[in-house]
Structure 1
């Protein structure tokens, strides 16, 4: 979950204000440091600059799709420890497979229950980090 004693940092990339407000509420209640981008443009640069522990990433964004952002993050070895939870209103099995195939750590369909999202965020942040060779890190 990051360095000992430090709150996990979460970057929300979501263009819908009502969903971003719900995410802000949840993340504040859980004690996470968090910030929001409302467009896909510049998201990868922001991820590189801030190194969040988790990115809550909408699939449908103005500018650049969440799939493209996920793929760009996963192609950068320096960002291997950044976890990604993708969110979409089009929660079909095909969408889920695509997100996971591109390297997302999880995939959640909107609208979601806050309890469901909270559980998924905890699952992803509490999972052991993968070593660069794909095995569990020591």
Structure 2
């Protein structure tokens, strides 16, 4: 069976060449572009199996590329690994919030990049039974994975994919305490490199979107989070 097709969106020639060389050597089919606009157009036309996306691009930046791809039905589920020189929590969280599957900070090891690609493709190739089951109804909140909808007192709430998965995880087991590591492993896959602060920021954003129902998500100091029974 042929290897996955990967689209690399990167404007630094030396880094682009390094990625291309190592991925072709690993057996992947590789397409390369050097701007955000080209990246959106190529991804839309090509429908690759995965995108490696630099953040600092000429024209529209990587964040905007990710937003546009997530907004289009044909590319909404496209696996995206962000590659960036920015390693601050705020940048990482921003990338995850708009739908990136993983991220790597420069400089990076080609071996680590290949391992991350394999992990993302493996996770995306699995249906994830914890997110394909029956709707969860607790208090005045309904989380329906089949329809991809969240209702609070009958009002639909728009969430990012990560927020949806986080809520479904917590609401599915009221009273159960999840550590931050367990949360990351459950919604992103084992070994996913996200800081505790990134999880906290996701929870803050989720609570805000849920309004009064956000109080159902309780902080267990020094441990993690749980959904109120």
TM over 0.5: yes
Gaps of at least 5 residues in structure 2 are: 133-146, 149-160, 166-229
Q: Where do residues 53-132 of structure 1 align in structure 2 (5 Å cutoff)?
A: 53-129=49-125
Separation in structure 1 between the aligned mates of residue 114 and residue 123 of structure 2, nearest angstrom: 14
**Where does residue 14 of structure 1 map in the other structure?**
10
Separation in structure 2 between the aligned mates of residue 64 and residue 108 of structure 1, nearest angstrom: 20
Q: Secondary structure at the match of 2:60?
A: coil
Q: Where do residues 17-32 of structure 1 align in structure 2 (5 Å cutoff)?
A: 17-32=13-28
Q: 2:40 aligns with which of 39, 44, 63?
A: 44
Separation in structure 2 between the aligned mates of residue 128 and residue 82 of structure 1, nearest angstrom: 9
- Structure number with bigger Rg: 2
Q: Normalising to structure 1: TM-score of the pair?
A: 0.88
Deviation at 1:32, TM superposition (A): 0.5
Gaps of at least 5 residues in structure 1 are: none
Cα RMSD over matched residues? 1.9
Q: Secondary structure at the match of 2:52?
A: strand
* Structure 1: 4+ residue segments shifted above 2 A: 128-135
Deviation at 1:128, TM superposition (A): 3.2
Deviation at 1:6, TM superposition (A): 3.2
Q: More displaced, 76-85 or 90-99? A: 76-85
Deviation at 1:25, TM superposition (A): 1.5
Q: Normalising to structure 2: TM-score of the pair?
A: 0.54
Contact 1:53 / 1:81 at 8 angstroms: preserved in 2?
Answer: no
Deviation at 1:80, TM superposition (A): 2.8
